Amino acid sequence: MTDLKTTVHDLMPALLEDLKDLVRIESVSADPARLSEVEKSAEKTRALFAAEGFEAEIVRAYDGAPPAVVGEKKGPEGAPVVLLYAHHDVQPENDPADWDSAPFEPTVRGDRLYGRGAADDKAGIAMHLGAVRALGDSLPVTLRLFIEGEEEVASATLPELLEKHQDRLKADVIIIGDSGNWDIGVPALTTSLRGLIRVDVQVRTLTHAVHSGMWGGLVPDAIMALTRLLSTLWTEDGSCAVEGLVSGPAADVDYPEERLRAESGAAPGTHWVGTGSSVERLWTKPAVTVTGIDAPKVDGASNTLTPVARAKVTIRIAPGDTGENAVARLQAHLEKHVPWGAELSTKVIDTGEATVLEATGPAYDAARAAFTEAWDGVAPIDMGVGGSIPFIAEFKEAFPAASVLVTGVEDPDTRAHGPNEGLHLAEFERVVLGEALLLRNLAQG
């Protein structure tokens, strides 16, 4: 391992420069004005892997669809085939004033590299690239590549891409480089993820706005009805009150209170909601969040009863549940609890399935050995994730015989999707070494 460890250490400066170049590309897939940047990031990604000997090209489900990069670099005859996944699109930066440095100008401060996509998930691309460079001409497996360009906007064309390019993507092992590790210095394999549903909920109580002095106290306004309806989504302790959703046990992992406080950003006086262990509440129980409300703004609001109001309701669903069940259960709950005869309408925006991975077998043995070696004897833990990577279920369906390993570069202070997203540089070096060792181990297994 010493030679490989030295090789990874020596290639880090150039690899970080390539990562910085990727971060500078504003590949925000949700912003139509920056679709040319998404194209630019796809071409940059393609060129980086082509320079390492991949037959790499940009593909899309149809003309005008988001660009993905597909490629292959052959290893020895008869060697295992490994598919490397990451995504080159990023979340919007939102208000740049919330950042300590420009979001698309990669900046090193202390032990971190900051910038939108510096971790999620352009560092996932760099992780794969670094492992390939470390192994060089001694590549022990055949590598296939799939770098997606629409993960942050729900991967709408992914099923079509998987079907269209199945022969080019089929593998014995799939490494999904879009998750993280338990802590700095403690590696992990992600073995469960919650799914999600997003539903727009609208209530109407009036055909038009009316004077609140003339009609308030008799006619319910829409905000009154909506807030009453939304409040029924939680029990008194803050648990999800929607009946019929799945809950389950979680791994016996200690999540210290001080870490929960620091990593969640909870205000000092905030109490936790729900019941059960913290990891059960975060990984294996459903959680309801209202992520947006359409109603008149406070500034300039008139003294009228609002006729219609709308909210976006998101439910993170536990492993073992389905999006179809969650939508049906939420719909039934809303219909049962809508107050004062208000007119209710709902629109399902999207759904994503939860995932449970059977974390056993030769690929997992190879990964655990590799990570333990890369982290100087610290064995990886099996970790759940409260967030969602719905496409993992689609990979499992498309390639049922493949072992799926979910790894990544993030750590508890990465702040993916938020201001000051950052990559821990020392941990990134371990991640690259861990993947290089994993590829070596897969060839030996």
Q: How confident is the model at residue 430, as a pLDDT?
A: 98
Average pLDDT over residues 19-25: 98
- The DSSP element (H or E) to which 17 belongs, if any, is helix 2-23
pLDDT at 389 over 90: no
Using an 8 Å Cβ cutoff, are 322 and 292 in contact? no
Q: Output the six-digit token pair for 124.
A: 């996932």
Tell me the pTM. Answer: 0.90
% of the chain with per-residue pLDDT over 90:
94
Q: Which helix (H) or strand (E) holds 176?
A: strand 173-180
Q: What is the pLDDT of residue 251?
A: 82
How sure is the predictor about 2, in pLDDT bands with cuts at 50, 70 and 90?
low
pLDDT tens digit sequence for 294-321? 999 999 999 999 999 999 999 999 999 9
Q: Count of CB atoms within 10 A of residue 153's CB?
A: 16
Q: What is the pLDDT of residues 54-70, one digit of tens each?
A: 999 999 999 999 999 99
**Residue 100 DSSP one-character state:** S
Residue 393 reports pLDDT greater than 90:
no
Residue 1 pLDDT: 59
Note the pLDDT tens digit of each residue in 319-329. 999 999 999 99
pLDDT on residue 388: 86
